[in-house]
Amino acid sequence: MTIRTPVRAALCLLAAAAVLAPVAGCAGKSKPSGDGAAAAAAPTSSSLPSADPSGSATPSAAPSASASPSASASASAKPSHSATPARTATRPPTAAPAPVAKAGPVAPPPPAVPPHTPPLQSGCQPSYTGTNLPKADVSAALTAAAGTTRTFTLSSPSGGRTSDTLPPLPLALVKAIAWQESGWQSAIKACDGGIGTMQIMPGTASTMNNKYGTTSDVNTLTGNVTIGTQYLDWLVAYYGDSCFDGKYDLSPDPVSGKTPLLDLVIAAYNAGAGNVHYNVTTDPATGAAVGVSVIPNPSYVANVKALMGKAPWTTAS
């Protein structure tokens, strides 16, 4: 698959809006990684939390039992992120904060790559390139990739370039997305070309390697999870800069109890950043500008967040 050159997307705007009518969003480009299937031991619909964008969620289909076989992108002064999806606010839920674009150098939009059809939901049988590695090996690889600190190149409207150091991604997020995508099957290949544990599309490896100056092999477990976590880093940096004033905390908002940045990152990994936005609208109760997520795959978001809490891989063989 050929990666199209990303076009600089407009940042979130704070503008007057009609009640509940989105005005402008954090427009991005489509993702390199793919749409994923729920893995074995995925939660049932009754156990899934509602994804914030829709209020309801339908779980992804689980794979058959016969299958065999990389954020808080911030400067040091910014807080490291946490990604605990459960709401901890004691006050009644309120609207999510309005989108605010970061001043100065920002993370560029992710590359334009078409969304990927999950291998276990696509209507055709996935293939395997060799034998799936033990779950313990996959867990170790995901832990190492999530814990990597990376340097991310930023850009500014004036043409100047600088960089940010990305602290490690939340391990629960990385493990949950990998479980949702492939059930931690390292040798799986989707009918449309999604590869391995993180279901990386073929053109993504070169894009991530060029971006980060790495030489990861998408067909190996280590290379595959490195590329997937690199892309997650990119999404956190992009949405954090475009919509949250350069803040990259994935934990619940202390006022609303919502997790807008976490939701955007999870959704974009699956559906493509070009289809996932955070717009400004008007709170009908207060008349204040607030944020509203535009997410086309709320069930995927709900599944991943539920997996973050349930950690079914701890009992998988």
Any domain includes 297: yes
> Helices 260-271 and 171-182 meet at what angle, rounded to 10?
30
Task: Report d(CA 174, CA 310) in Å as an integer.
Answer: 14
Which residues have C-beta within 8 Å of that of residue 26, sequence separation ≥ 6?
9, 11, 12, 99, 238, 239, 242, 243, 264, 277, 278
pLDDT by residue (tens digit) across 104-161?
Answer: 888 888 876 666 666 766 677 889 999 999 999 999 999 999 999 888 888 776 777 7
Element (H, E) at 299: helix 298-310
pLDDT of res. 282: 92
For residue 104, give both structure tokens.
Answer: 């100065």
Contact yes or no for 8/109 (Cβ under 8 A):
yes
pLDDT by residue (tens digit) across 164-183?
Answer: 887 899 999 999 999 999 99
Neighbours of 66 (CB within 10 A): 5
Any domain includes 8: no
Any domain includes 20: no
Any domain includes 15: no
Whole-Å CA distances, 283 to 12, 21, 22, 195, 295: 17, 10, 11, 42, 19
Q: What is the pTM of this model?
A: 0.74
Any domain includes 227: yes
Which among 37, 35, 33, 70 is positioned nearest to 182, based on CA atoms? Answer: 37
Task: Report d(CA 216, CA 145) in Å as an integer.
Answer: 12
Any domain includes 35: no
In Å, how far from its chain's centre is CA 240? Answer: 12
CA-based angle 245:32:238, to the nearest 5?
Answer: 5
Q: What is the pLDDT along the chain (317 residues), one digit of tens a residue?
A: 333 333 333 334 333 233 233 333 353 333 333 433 333 333 333 233 333 333 333 333 333 333 333 333 333 334 345 665 544 433 345 788 899 999 888 888 887 666 666 676 667 788 999 999 999 999 999 999 999 988 888 877 677 778 888 789 999 999 999 999 999 999 999 887 889 999 998 888 888 888 888 899 999 999 999 999 999 999 999 999 999 999 999 998 888 888 999 999 999 998 888 899 999 999 888 899 999 999 999 999 999 999 999 999 988 76
Task: Report d(CA 302, CA 47) in Å as an integer.
Answer: 10
Structural domains in the chain (count)? 1
Structural domain boundaries enclosing 261: 45-314
Which among 158, 165, 153 is positioned nearest to 104, based on CA atoms? Answer: 158
Task: Report d(CA 17, CA 287) in Å as an integer.
Answer: 10
Any domain includes 14: no
Contact yes or no for 61/37 (Cβ under 8 A):
yes
Any domain includes 33: no
